[in-house]
Amino acid sequence: MDTAQTYFLLTILLPLLGGMFTYTIGGKKGINVAVAAMGGGFVMSLILLLSVIDQPWVIRWKWVPGIELGWNIDTTAAVLMSLVSFISLLVHLFSKHYMFGDKAIDRYYGKLGFFTFSMLGLLASDHFLLLFIFWELVGFSSFLLIGFWFDDIQKAQGARKAFMINRVADAGLLIGVILLVVELDVNFISELKEMPFSPMLQLAGFGLMIGAFGKSAQFPFFGWLPKAMAGPTPVSALIHAATMVAAGVYLLFRTQEILTPDVLAVTAFVGGLTALMAAIAALTQFDIKKVLAYSTISQLGYMVMGVGVGAYESSLFHLWTHAFFKAGLFLTAGAVIHYYHHAHHHCHRFDAQDMRNMGGLRKILPVTFIAFLINGMALSGLPFFSGFLSKEGILSGALIWAVGHGNAVGYLVVVMAFVTAALTPFYIGRQILLVFFGESRTVNKPVEGMEPIFSVKLTLLILAVASIWIFSALNPFDGHGWWLGNLLFDDHVMPDTSHQFLLHVTMALSVILVISGLALSYRKYKPDSAVVLRFKTKQRPKGLLGKLSFNAWYIEDIYEKISDGFLNISKTSFQIDKKIIDRSIDLFGVSTVVFAKAMAIVDREIVDGLVNFAAWVSRTIGNAYTKVHAARVQNQLLWLVLFIIVIVLWLQF
């Protein structure tokens, strides 16, 4: 066992073992073990990163006859593993406070550990089948965590629906993976290279794309992510913002070499479309987590689009920055929800996630406010924050791609991307204004001194600070100056100088859009504005666009229709089974019995009848004969004599 293997095993197994220990033996007191193990895992992931910088670590082993699976830790995998470990560690820390007092907190930590293990395994997988295995495990652990409060049937349903939608997309991924492995003999991600176009490659590419769309919540699968908000908020931060949902982007990023131009074009278009649709959906939500959920979908759309347009590096960069600021946003939202939950715990019908009940938290939770503000600005793409840098690369990549192709769809993608860039600051500005500014809109007066404890504050601040530009790139306006860029990409070069003009256009345009978006949201949602005051009546948005937005394009209703249709097919099948197949079998059985009965009658009346008839005939004759001749020995003798005489006479003449 070489050292890299030791580090790797420790990295992925420590979180799992810590979680399992807590779940099985440790109980509520074992939480610290889980957190410590996670910390160890994070340290190990850093050591692993250092040990594979020069030389990727690859191992293969036989899984079943004919199929070898393998791990491959290159710098990309190691960096992302560190990222996952880090976010997971923060979530472990945060949850200690957030989940305090929950009766099943040990189970919670078990599931968290399992998720972290699966996610790390996914990142380290080299073989496509192994990737699929961890892909599914990630989905499964997400199911377990979303459904953590399974007593609440709504939440359990959310978990089920999220898993099902993922499963549908996973079927596409499975087909893609099988086609790659079996038909094209492409097994290992680390050995991918450009391949000549073939219809099979195209089909496999679309399979991978569908799988990626499922995990990364792209159209038409994005409906599962808002459902996933049923889970505890730290889980949303870990799984549904920073790590699992990025798996799709990671997959596309890893397989870029074999994706055909058609697949990439569809990817770019769907990414742009999802970014826009989700941004519009985020505009009107009242649930603090739902806004963030749609925002996540929208940002993932950016990343997917980035891969589609060829801006892989920027996509991965955005994945990186997004992981920090979105996890930060979710955790701060968690802190807010936690606060409201405890402030109003005596009031059962109070919805601690409804922004219409909030307001004025700036003074009550100052640290939370600052963290949320910084992360929100990073999300909106304001210069001097990390989000600006990474988004910049994607937007310019899209523009360069569109100009290069010069067709209408390409420009449509660009337009969608830029509209989204304007909508993002608008909805996040709205959220900040509604939650933190103005006065509390609830009846109860806010309780003072509810700022969370130190470990929580630390977690939030770490994430907030990480969203400042300097931790991503030295130059706050250089979208291609990622610190890690040189490490991750061998051919890390600045874009062609001929695109310099387009880069400047993108930058100018996006800064204008961000600022105008923020300004617009302040104009509309500033404290004491008419819109905000109306919230007390809790009405839903009106108008077509408002309804579309609030109901997220009715995607869930569409899912419902599809699943109802499926259920109907299923019921019809059962009726066929019962009424046709089983009935015909029964009919066959019954007709056999009827036939047998008929045969019995025939047997009794005809076959047996013949025999009986013969017997009857002989009996009748016999009877008649005995009546005539019975016991008359002399009569018999007489006949005898007569016959002898006849015979003698016969012989004589």
Partner 1 sequence: MEITLTYYLMLSAFLLCAGLLIVLIKKNAVFVLLGIELMLNAANLNLVAFSKFDPSLDGQIFAIFSVVVAAAEAAIALAILLNIYKTYKSSDLDDLDTLNY
Partner 2 sequence: MINNLLSLMIFLPLFAAAIVGVIPSHMKGAIRWTTLGTMLVELILSLMLFVGFDGSHQAESWADAFQFVEALPWISLKFGSLGALEVNYFVGVDGISMPLIVLSGILLVIGVISSWKITEKVKGYFVLYLILSASLIGCFAALDFFLFYVFFEFMLLPMFFLIGIWGGPRRSYASVKFFLYTLFGSLLILIVMIGLYLSVGNDGVNSFSLIQMMDGSYLPGSLLNPETHFQLWGINIRYLAFGLVLVGFMIKLPAVPFHTWLPDAHVEAPTAISVLLAGVLLKVGGYGLFRIAYSIFPDAAMELAQPVAILGMISIVYGGLVAMAQNDIKKLIAYSSVSHMGFVLLGLAVITLEGISGSLFQMVSHGFISGALFLIVGVLYDRTHDRQIENVSGLASKLPLYTFFVVLFFFGSLGLPGLSGFVGEVLVLMGAIGAESINQLVPRWIGMIAVLGIIISAAYYLWTLQRMFFGTYWVREESWDQEMKEINLREWIMLAPLGILVILLGIFPSVLLDPIENSIQFLVESIINQGKTYLSL
| Closest-CA residue to 284 (of 514, 539, 513, 520) | 539
| Closest-CA residue to 223 (of 562, 563, 552) | 552
Are the C-beta atoms of residues 292 and 327 closer than 8 Å to each other? no
Place of tokens 């074992």: 30
Which CB atom, from 537 or from 634, has the smaller least distance to partner 1? 634
Are the C-beta atoms of residues 205 and 259 closer than 8 Å to each other? yes
Does residue 634 bind partner 1 (CB under 8 A)? yes
Residue 632 binds: one of partner 2, partner 1, none (C-beta under 5 to 8 A by kind): partner 1
Which CB atom, from 20 or from 278, has the smaller least distance to partner 2? 20
Does residue 623 bind partner 1 (CB under 8 A)? no
Which CB atom, from 575 or from 635, has the smaller least distance to partner 2? 575
Figure out which of the listed residues 60, 160, 441, 526 binds partner 2, where binding follows CB under 8 A. Answer: 160
Residue 566 binds: one of partner 2, partner 1, none (C-beta under 5 to 8 A by kind): partner 2
φ and ψ at residue 295, rounded to 5 degrees: -60, -40
Q: Which x/- pattern, by CB under 8 A, does the window 114-133 give for partner 2?
A: ---------------x--xx
Q: How far is the CB of 643 from partner 1 (least distance, A)?
A: 14
Give the C-alpha separation, 588 to 128, whole Å: 50
Q: What is the dihedral of CA 93, 94, 96, 100, to 10 degrees?
A: 180
Which CB atom, from 634 or from 652, has the smaller least distance to partner 1? 634
Does residue 66 bind partner 2 (CB under 8 A)? yes
Q: How many residues bind partner 2 (CB under 8 A)?
A: 46
Give the C-alpha separation, 372 to 325, whole Å: 9
Residues 6+ positions from 436 with CB-CB distance below 8 Å: 359, 360, 361, 362, 369, 372, 373
Residue 196 binds: one of partner 1, partner 2, none (C-beta under 5 to 8 A by kind): none
Figure out which of the listed residues 637, 646, 647, 648 binds partner 1, where binding follows CB under 8 A. Answer: 637
Figure out which of the listed residues 50, 453, 545, 630 binds partner 1, where binding follows CB under 8 A. Answer: 630
| Closest-CA residue to 420 (of 305, 556, 547, 505) | 305
CA distances from 542 to 358, 431, 465, 546, 558 (A): 22, 19, 39, 5, 21
Does residue 624 bind partner 1 (CB under 8 A)? no
198-237: which residues touch partner 2 (CB under 8 A)?
none
Please count the other Cβ atoms lying within 10 Å of the Cβ belonging to residue 472.
26
Are the C-beta atoms of residues 417 and 274 closer than 8 Å to each other? no
Radius of gyration for the alpha carbons in the chain, expressed in angstroms and rounded: 38
Q: How far is the CB of 638 from partner 1 (least distance, A)?
A: 5
Helix (H, G, I), strand (E, B) or coil at 148: coil
Segment interacting with partner 1 (CB under 8 A) among 72-80, 449-457, 501-509, 635-643: 635-643
Figure out which of the listed residues 610, 614, 632, 643 binds partner 1, where binding follows CB under 8 A. Answer: 632
Q: How far is the CB of 632 from partner 1 (least distance, A)?
A: 7
Which CB atom, from 523 or from 632, has the smaller least distance to partner 1? 632
Residue 2 binds: one of partner 1, partner 2, none (C-beta under 5 to 8 A by kind): none
Figure out which of the listed residues 136, 351, 478, 556 binds partner 2, where binding follows CB under 8 A. Answer: 136
Query: What count of Cα atoms within 13 Å lies in the side-chain half-sphere of residue 94?
Result: 33
Residues 6+ positions from 66 with CB-CB distance below 8 Å: none
Does residue 168 bind partner 2 (CB under 8 A)? yes
For partner 1, the binding residues (CB under 8 A) are: 626, 630-634, 637-638, 641
